[in-house]
Structure 1
Amino acid sequence: MSLLSNADWGPIVVAVVLFILLSPGMMFQLPTRTRVIEFGNMCTSGIAILVHAIIYFSLFTILIMEIGIHIHVY
């Protein structure tokens, strides 16, 4: 029996999906240099990185701790 057979893959999957979706400039950027929100501009700033990190942390905490997303692979 492998050590990874009872591993909880939920936090890993949620973290990867949120990282892809919430990368500043990839799908949207909040805030931008000229507007409040822009979609697909592929540019970023320091404040946008901070805002996206706060959103990422909040969503990750809610999904893992409160909702309890767990994926067990046997």
Structure 2
Amino acid sequence: MADWGPVVVAVILFVLLTPGILFQIPTRGRVVEFGNLHTSGASILVHNIIYFGLNTIFTIAIRLHIYTG
């Protein structure tokens, strides 16, 4: 049996937390902008920290598992 839980969580979080797609923290003019499709180094760093934290919470703390087979 393969455990697909971490893979599914990582892919979903990567798509949702890509800077500029749904939202961006921080932006050039405001704190949060939605759907502007522009990125900066600071926003990439913030989104990486949020991604790592949520990925860790879902895969280690909650122990989300999806088994196939």
Check whether TM > 0.5. yes
| Identical columns (%) | 62
Q: What is the number of equivalent residue pairs in this alignment? A: 69
Q: What's the TM-score once normalised by structure 2's chain length?
A: 0.99
Deviations 1:36-73 (A, max 9, x none): 00000000000000000000000000000000100000
Distance 2:24 2:31 in 1: 8
Aligned alpha-carbon RMSD (Å): 0.3
Higher Rg of the two aligned structures: 1
1:72 aligns with 2:60: no
Q: Which runs of 4+ in 1 moved over 3 A?
A: none
Question: Superposed, which structure 2 residues align to 1:1-74 within 5 Å?
Answer: 6-74=1-69
Unaligned runs of 5+ in 1: 1-5
Q: What's the TM-score once normalised by structure 1's chain length?
A: 0.92
